[in-house]
Every structure is written in C-alpha cells, then in structure tokens.
C-alpha cells in the first residue's frame, strides 16, 4: 500500500514541491505501547523514485512530544541506538525502517498506542519539503 497519493492531495493546497512527489512511503507501522513506557518506535519503507538524492532531516507527529530518526549500531558488542540527523537516500534507493535498524523514535507518547490505531507522521527533508503518511499500530506479542 502506498501513501504517496494521500500526501499528494495534502500538498495540492500548497505550492507544488518536487521532493514529496518523488518519495513513496509504504508499509508504515508502529509497535503497540509497552505498559509504563513513554517511548515508541515507528517503521516504514521509503523509496526515492526521483532522479536526485534526498535527505531526511527530521520527523514529527502529534502523537508524541518528539520524534527522532534513529539507527541501531553494534558497538563494543552491544546494540545501541543513535540519532541520525541526516539520512541520505540516493535516486532510486529504497531504505527499510525495521526493528533492529532504522526507526522513528518517539519520545513522550501522549496516549498509549493500541493495535489498529492510526498515527500520522510528517517527514522533513533538507530542501524544506515534507511528506505526510499514516502508520498503523501493530501488536508486538
Ligand atoms: Cu531509537
């Protein structure tokens, strides 16, 4: 399922921006909340269908206080997360955000995510453009 059509509709009301029309986001989902945790994680597949490289510089959602692009890295034998301030996506490249790899890290989740909930995100690019998509909460059991 592709969300690019939704974003195109939203963007139709503001000046046409090149990047968003050349980005496809699919299979967007979130982990259901772990009781007692105010953090969350979101995943999706992003494809740059254009002819120029693009750079993701941030994200936001109304469902949490803050969102950061994170990556898991193995350091000293331990899996750690680190913030990725700029994620470059070459023309034609697809990057899969998934558990153990790239993810959207949510801090200060306002209402616990339950399976079936829909959460809207916005991804921001270095050229000032952004694209919106919905992610569905999935059970982690
Ligand atoms: Cu993280």
CA 123 – ligand 1 centroid, Å: 16
In angstroms, what is the span from residue 111 Cα to ligand 1's centroid?
19
Give distance in angstroms: CA of 104 to centre of ligand 1.
Answer: 7
In 3-state terms the chain splits into helix, strand, coil percentages (rounded to 5) of 10, 55, 40
- Report the pLDDT value the prediction gives residue 75, as an integer from 0 to 100: 87
Between the CA of 140 and the centroid of ligand 1 the distance, in Å, is 16
pLDDT digits (tens, 9 = 90+) for 96-129: 999 999 999 999 999 999 999 999 999 999 999 9
Tell me the domain boundaries of the chain. 4-138
Q: Which of 44, 69, 79 is nearest to 124 (CA)?
A: 69
- Ligand 1 centroid–CA 10 distance in Å is 29
How confident is the model at residue 14, as a pLDDT? 46
Alpha carbons 60 and 107: distance in angstroms, whole number: 11
40: number of Cβ within 10 Å:
25
Burial of 21 (0-12, 13-18, 19+ CB in 10 A): middle
Q: Which residues of the chain have pLDDT under 70?
A: 1-21, 141
Tokens of 79: 């899996």
Q: 69 C-alpha vs ligand 1 centroid, how far in Å? A: 7
Chain position carrying tokens 């980005």: 23
CATH class of 4-138: mainly beta
What are the residues whose beta carbon lies below 5 Å from ligand 1 (ion)? 70, 81, 105
pLDDT of residue 21: 66
Centre of ligand 1 to C-alpha 46, Å, is 18
Q: What is the reported pLDDT for 61?
A: 97
Largest CA distance in the chain: 49
**Which pTM value belongs to this model?**
0.83
């Amino acid at each position: 399922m592709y969300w690019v059509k939704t974003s195109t509709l939203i963007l139709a009301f503001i000046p046409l921006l090149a990047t968003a029309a050349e980005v496809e986001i699919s299979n967007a989902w979130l982990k259901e909340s772990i009781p007692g945790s105010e953090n969350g994680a979101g995943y999706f597949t992003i494809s740059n269908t254009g002819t120029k490289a693009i750079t993701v510089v941030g994200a936001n959602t109304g469902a949490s206080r803050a969102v950061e692009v994170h990556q898991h890295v193995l350091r000293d034998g331990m899996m750690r997360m680190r913030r990725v301030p700029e994620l470059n996506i070459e023309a034609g490249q697809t990057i899969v955000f998934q558990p153990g790899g790239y993810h959207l890290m949510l801090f200060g989740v306002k209402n616990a995510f339950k399976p079936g909930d829909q959460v809207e995100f916005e991804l921001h690019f270095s050229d000032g453009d952004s694209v919106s998509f919905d992610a569905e909460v999935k059970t982690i059991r």
